[in-house]
């Protein structure tokens, strides 16, 4: 286990500077965003009240109260999230391929370390997962800060105050990255971890068999995804609706665990038997 933690620390360190850039861009963009959204709303209010002669109540009835939802629907909020998602998706592949590319194939040095090779798999998967959870935690903090900034910028009479949990329920974008309940959080990110394992396994298949492995890898991703989605396919094709929601959920969790365990086992086999130094 000690080697696993060291490998994880090593992998985190390799991406840490770029990760800080992502964090910085997210903070700057979203803080500027809540200020910009607040100023735009107050400009509309001032024009309606002082130029068009509307009362405050008439303006609020017409325009509605401002809330954090106005911010979460803006490009200032969504753009850095999209950037982080795309970057981590790319890095999910880059975290393996950079070790194979270049003049000195660093992967062979990693595989020669006196530890089980599967630790390398878990270290890279943990690195991706920690970075995702770190960005989610940052987003929770920024929603809280945005609420404070909004209160500074806009008089209370024009505001609909919302907490982090309320924003998560009301905003489909926030709910996607920050589910409203702990159970949903575990299910969402457990599924995400499963797909990380699937794609890591596909990369190892490609690295083990090269050009032929590329087809095998694509096939593996397709089969693993189909197995995980099998309950949905069954319900669409044969109307499998006799299960209670809890029973459906348990079955889906079991399938997810099987797919994840199969990916890890296959990766272990490839790392120990097929990828040689």
For residue 207, pLDDT over 80 is answered with: yes
Task: Give the residue carrying structure tokens 């969504």.
Answer: 78
Percentage of the chain modeled with pLDDT above 90: 47
Instruction: Please write down the HEC assignment for all residues of 68-132.
Output: HHHHHCCHHHHHHHHHHHHHHHHHHHHHHHHHHCCCCCHHHHHHCCCCCCHHHHHHHHHHHHHHH
For residue 61, pLDDT over 90 is answered with: no
Q: Give the least confident one: 80-94, 139-153, 192-206, 228-242.
A: 228-242
Q: For residue 160, what pLDDT is reported? A: 87
Task: Give the residue carrying structure tokens 């920024």.
Answer: 142
Q: What are the boundaries of each domain within the chain?
A: 1-179, 181-277
Q: For residue 260, what pLDDT is reported? A: 95
For residue 237, pLDDT over 80 is answered with: no
Distances (CA, A) of 227 to 200, 241, 257, 270: 17, 18, 11, 21
Q: How does pLDDT run across 142-190, given as a tens digit for each residue?
A: 999 999 999 999 888 888 888 888 888 888 888 888 888 888 888 999 9
Q: For residue 276, what pLDDT is reported? A: 66
Q: For residue 74, what pLDDT is reported? A: 92
Q: For residue 52, what pLDDT is reported? A: 77
* Pair 164, 137: CB distance under 8 Å: no
Mean pLDDT of the chain: 87
């Amino acid at each position: 286990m000690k080697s696993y933690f060291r490998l994880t620390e090593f992998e985190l360190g390799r991406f840490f500077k770029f990760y800080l850039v992502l964090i910085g861009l997210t903070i700057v963009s979203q803080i500027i965003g809540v200020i910009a959204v607040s100023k735009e709303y107050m400009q509309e209010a001032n024009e309606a009240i002082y130029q068009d002669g509307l009362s405050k109540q008439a303006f609020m009835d017409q325009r509605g109260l401002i809330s954090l939802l106005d911010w979460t629907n803006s490009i200032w909020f969504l753009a850095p999230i999209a950037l982080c998602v795309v970057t981590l998706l790319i890095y999910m592949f880059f975290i393996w391929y950079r070790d194979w590319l270049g003049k000195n194939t660093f992967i062979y040095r990693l595989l020669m370390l006196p530890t089980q090779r599967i630790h390398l798999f878990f270290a890279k998967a943990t690195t991706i997962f920690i970075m995702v959870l770190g960005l989610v935690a940052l987003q929770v903090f920024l929603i809280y800060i945005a609420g404070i900034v909004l209160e500074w910028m806009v008089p209370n009479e024009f505001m609909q105050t919302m907490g982090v949990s309320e924003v998560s329920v009301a905003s489909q974008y926030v709910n996607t990255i920050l589910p409203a309940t702990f159970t949903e959080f575990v299910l969402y990110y457990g599924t995400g971890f499963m797909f990380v394992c699937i794609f890591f396994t596909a990369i190892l298949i490609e690295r083990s068999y090269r050009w032929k492995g590329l087809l095998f890898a694509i096939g593996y991703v397709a089969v693993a995804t189909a197995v995980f989605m099998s309950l949905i396919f069954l319900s669409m094709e044969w109307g499998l609706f006799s299960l209670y929601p809890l029973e459906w959920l348990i079955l889906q969790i079991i399938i997810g665990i099987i797919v994840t365990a199969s990916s890890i086992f296959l990766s272990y086999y490839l790392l120990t038997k097929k990828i040689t130094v």
